[in-house]
Amino acid sequence: MTDSPNFDTVAIHAGQEFDPTTGAVIPPVYLTSTFVQDGIGGLRGGYEYSRGGNPTRDSLQTLLAALEGGQLALSFASGLAAEDTLLRAALVPGDHIVLGNDVYGGTHRLIERVHGPWGVRNSTVEMSDLAAVETAIIPGETKMLWVETPSNPLMKISDITALAEIGHRHGVTVVVDNTFASPALQQPLALGADVVVHSTTKYLGGHSDVLGGALIFGTDNELAQKASFLQFAAGPISAPLDAWLTIRGIKTLSVRMDRHCSNAQAIAEHLVAHPALDGIYYPGLPSHPGHELAAAQMSGFGGMISLAFSGGAPAARAFAESTQLFQLAESLGGVESLVNYPAEMTHASVRGTELEVPDNIVRLSVGIEYVGDLIADIDGALAKL
Ligand SMILES: *Cc1c(COP(=O)(O)O)cnc(C)c1O
């Protein structure tokens, strides 16, 4: 490789050296729990037992670190397993965390209902309002700022550079959940964040066939080592076949993201003045409040769109249940288009909290199918309202 290969090249080659024994272009999947030792303690390549280290997981971790420009990456069985490991590595009882008021519902549930009883306190805040974030930080007690941009499902854009500056001024670890953008569109570590979190289940895996999560660390080596120890000591690791499927997905990340972005942009522009809609949440539209910030901090606007229906919950529900290509399912980021009704699906766990999603919202995960077919599907469902 050249000294600084382009992202698209890195996505295909980092950590993916051919097998030295056979020349196999694709490194083998190491489906093994343990490794033979050449005499007691005589480890080959440092491998002892797969909870502590496995070559296929290492190959994914090397790839993820290269994609996000981090010092170290750790991969996990799910996005929430990654988040749980980070929270336990970074926080102790009494610590306080500030998170967005529209953070992923599962993240809020984990912090509030799992870490809350262990003494970790949290406040939710409008993350795109920098003054509100500054006010929410309790000096000496707030230890983590949890940023998700674009956010889910309203696609709010938060200023990573400014939030990192605020966080660091208060000695706070700044975490960015980069699941919605993927490293192909947004590089939080380069913008000043300390840790990137991923649900690799979404765009990185990209084919809706494997769950996974990741943590990628910038220069905070102490935190990286604590999380690495927890990954080994508690074992929430990604299994070899899961790691391999995720690597396989990542190789096409850039070309998939290009198509996700262009399809979503075309759909958003097509729907912009539709009478059945009160609003369209897509950062690629100039009318979106975060449009300019997104244009500056991202290299594309992503594949996620939310629609607000003027006919309220009945119209939103009827639409979500009548598209054909857009299949009704939770999750996002796969090659196939999905439709989701957040109030009762992805965000059901935050009903009754300040994170509740309006019941006239439908979220689209725009896939990479032919855009004309996707638009025809949407138009067909809108015509039935
Ligand atoms: C899905 C998701 C998660 C959780 O990841 P899992 O792989 O489902 O555990 C976290 N953050 C965001 C933004 C997500 O979309």
The enclosing domain of 315 has a CATH number of: 3.90.1150.10
Q: Is 54 in the pocket of ligand 1 (CB under 6 A)?
A: no
Query: In 3D, which of 280, 215, 275, 204 has the Cα closest to residue 242?
Result: 204
Strand ranges for the chain from DSSP E: 72-76, 96-100, 121-125, 142-148, 173-177, 195-199, 213-217, 277-281, 304-309, 327-328, 338-340, 361-365
245 and 337 fall within a common domain: no
What value does the mean pLDDT take over residues 73-94? 98
Give pLDDT tens digits for 185-236. Answer: 999 999 999 999 999 999 999 999 999 999 999 999 999 999 999 999 999 9
Of 58, 84, 177, 377, the active-site residue reads 177
* 17 domain-assigned: yes
* 366 domain-assigned: yes
* 1 domain-assigned: no
Q: Is 202 in the pocket of ligand 1 (CB under 6 A)?
A: yes
268 and 364 fall within a common domain: yes
295 and 153 fall within a common domain: no
> Which of 147, 199, 211, 338 for a ligand 1 pocket mutation test, highest count of atoms within 8 Å of Cβ?
199
Q: Is 77 in the pocket of ligand 1 (CB under 6 A)?
A: no
CATH number, domain of 130, equals: 3.40.640.10
Q: Please count the other Cβ atoms lying within 10 Å of the Cβ belonging to residue 194.
A: 24
Q: Is 78 in the pocket of ligand 1 (CB under 6 A)?
A: yes
Whole-angstrom Cα distance, residue 354 to residue 315?
24
Whole-angstrom Cα distance, residue 374 to residue 264?
10
To the nearest whole number, what is the mean pLDDT of the chain? 96
Q: What is the reported pLDDT for 347?
A: 81
Check pLDDT > 90 for residue 119. yes
Give pLDDT tens digits for 43-81. Answer: 999 999 999 999 999 999 999 999 999 999 999 999 999
Report the predicted TM-score, pTM, of the whole model to 2 decimal places: 0.97
Strand ranges for 210-309 from DSSP E: 213-217, 277-281, 304-309
Strands 304-309 and 277-281: antiparallel
57 and 197 fall within a common domain: yes
Q: Which domain holds residue 294?
A: 254-383
282 is catalytic: no
